[in-house]
Copies of this chain bind each other. A is one copy, B any other.
Amino acid sequence: MSELFERLQPYLDRGMAIKAALTLFDWDNETLAPACASEKTAKIMGNLSGEYYRATINDEVRDLLAQLSTPEEKEKLSDTEKAIVKKMNKEYEQLEKIPANEYQAFRELLTKSAQIWAKAKENNDFSAFAPTLNEIVDYQKRFAEYTKKPGMSLYDTMLDQNEEGILEKDLDPFFEKIRTAVVPLLKKVMERNDKIDKSYNNRCYPIDVQKKFCRFLAEYIGFDFEKGVMAESAHPFTTNMHNSDVRITNHFYEKNLESAMFSVIHEGGHALYEMGVADELTLTAVGGGTSMGVHESQSRFYENILGRSEAFWKPLFGKLKETYPEQLADVEQNDFILGINKAEPGPIRTEADELTYPLHIMVRYEIEKLLISGKIKVDDLPQIWNEKYKEYLGVTPKNDKEGVLQDVHWSGGSFGYFPSYAIGNAVAAQIYAFMHKKVKVAECLETGNLEPIRKYLCKHIHQYGSTKNMNELLIGMTGESLNVDYYIDYLTKKYTKLYHIEE
């Protein structure tokens, strides 16, 4: 037992508790808090962020971390403790360089900005959001400037915070490969698209019935309602206090069957990750999922690779038809499988199919690079957004509401985050290619027993929390680091087969 680590423990516990409180406030703001609360609650959250800063950034913590990082002290630590020290060192280095008052002011700005963005989006008025976004970009650029490592660009610094070690030099070829494969494939798909009729999706599906079916789906994939809750919010998301309190939200549309169904499978995938973290790790600094990329790999694995497969719906399609006997009377299982996989370019990322999805991410990646490097300004965003959508997806958003204002991320200060979605898709495909050799995935799905799949993911990914980064997990599981070829292969095979495209 390390005496030094024991002295560090109270600081860790304090930081953990304050973080959990901030998580709960975020959840509450999105799901329940009354309309007029936000301004005063922002003050509370700003103070809590300051408190987190004080609990984490102080002379004693710095000294303890420095001593714990020496070889002789490191030796006394368990693997978990080593991972905690490593994680804290990283966080310390980043936070230490950001002045406390700037950090707190930024957090306060963020709580307000969510509402400003929401209102601007509602009113389709980018100019109402632009000044706030400008402030956010300024803060984030300044923070990246403070913490930037040698040889990294500002945007690299943001990328590295989201996915350790995955920088522009990795993502440029990553997206280039995707573009080269997906754009021509999409063209062929589009030529055959008129054969797919998914008009069933926009019939009337009563919301209370949808809610019941979504709850069933959550349980079906393994979401444990003793350790989690489900609520509603404007946009579905997942959050957690610890591995026994994991929360997902959904949003229901009466005239959209698929939206809430695939959202609950997606968020359920995130939730299973957090529920699967080892008890030893939860409530520690390494107790959550390791990165957004790996998190998205889990949600997308469930949503797309499993949830949109024929095998998944084999034991479920009958139940779905029983649930909506009139709405789905004329829909056969095969029509449904084609429908839920129909690829068609559109302006909205969250409504995108599996094939066009990475193109939406590519647009954001390229725009963020330009914005953070200063090549474009916030005011240029609407125009460049629309140009890139035209170029890669062949569509022009009707207005900023379905264009540059569509995503919440930037209002939350998240830059360098969007690539995680595409990384997640690629990781999911890589895991899937390998898992096949160890688990009879199709059999599990066809018999409605998803436990072996969940256990396999828990064993190789979930349980580790963030003691390993993405590439460490991938190497441990598949023998190689991130390789986008699996993703391209998966998309090509799936869509070639689905659309009967000759290769």
Interface residues of A in 13-60 (CB under 8 A from B): 13-14, 16-18, 20-21, 24-25, 28, 32-37, 39-41, 43-48, 50-51, 55
Interface residues of A in 192-211 (CB under 8 A from B): none
Beta-carbon nearest neighbor of A31 in chain B: B32
A229→B32 contact, CB < 8 A: yes
Q: How far is the CA of A25 from the CA of B282 in the complex (A)?
A: 18
Copies of the chain in the assembly: 2
Q: How far is the CA of A245 from the CA of B45 in the complex (A)?
A: 14
Q: How far is the CA of A44 from the CA of B24 in the complex (A)?
A: 11
Tell whether A222 is near chain B: CB-to-CB under 8 Å: no
B51→A14 contact, CB < 8 A: yes
Tell whether A283 is near chain B: CB-to-CB under 8 Å: yes
1/0 per residue, CB under 8 A from B, across A242-272: the answer is: 1111000000000000000000000000000
With A21-B24, A25-B24, A51-B18 known as contacts, the answer to whether A40 contacts B244 (CB < 8 A) is yes
Total count of chain A residues near the partner, CB < 8 A: 41
B25→A245 contact, CB < 8 A: no
On chain B, the residues within 8 Å of A14 by CB distance are 47, 50-51
| Among A24, A37, A45, A228, residue most surrounded by chain B Cβ atoms (within 10 Å) | A37
Q: How far is the CA of A292 from the CA of B475 in the complex (A)?
A: 60
On chain B, the residues within 8 Å of A35 by CB distance are 226-227
B17→A244 contact, CB < 8 A: no
Tell whether A359 is near chain B: CB-to-CB under 8 Å: no
With A24-B25, A25-B21, A36-B244 known as contacts, the answer to whether A51 contacts B55 (CB < 8 A) is yes
Chain B: minimal CB distance from A276 (Å): 14
* Contact for A245 among B16, B40, B50, CB less than 8 A: B40
B48→A21 contact, CB < 8 A: yes
B17→A44 contact, CB < 8 A: yes
B245→A17 contact, CB < 8 A: no
Interface of A is mostly: helix
1/0 per residue, CB under 8 A from B, across A69-108: the answer is: 0000000000000000000000000000000000000000
Tell whether A434 is near chain B: CB-to-CB under 8 Å: no
A245→B282 contact, CB < 8 A: no
With A24-B25, A40-B282, A282-B40 known as contacts, the answer to whether A245 contacts B47 (CB < 8 A) is no
On chain B, the residues within 8 Å of A48 by CB distance are 17-18, 21
Q: How far is the CA of A44 from the CA of B21 in the complex (A)?
A: 8
Tell whether A429 is near chain B: CB-to-CB under 8 Å: no
B227→A37 contact, CB < 8 A: yes
A244→B37 contact, CB < 8 A: yes
Tell whether A294 is near chain B: CB-to-CB under 8 Å: no
Interface residues of A in 263-322 (CB under 8 A from B): 282-283
Tell whether A427 is near chain B: CB-to-CB under 8 Å: no
On chain B, the residues within 8 Å of A283 by CB distance are 40, 43-44
Tell whether A225 is near chain B: CB-to-CB under 8 Å: yes
1/0 per residue, CB under 8 A from B, across A155-171: the answer is: 00000000000000000
| Seed contacts A34-B225, A34-B226; 5 additional CB < 8 Å A-B pairs | A17-B51, A18-B51, A24-B24, A40-B244, A41-B242
10 tightest Cβ-Cβ pairs between the two chains A and B: A17-B47, A21-B21, A37-B245, A36-B244, A40-B242, A20-B44, A17-B44, A36-B226, A35-B226, A36-B227
14 contacts between A and B (CB under 8 A): A16-B47, A17-B45, A17-B47, A20-B44, A21-B25, A24-B25, A34-B227, A34-B245, A35-B227, A36-B226, A37-B227, A37-B242, A41-B241, A51-B51
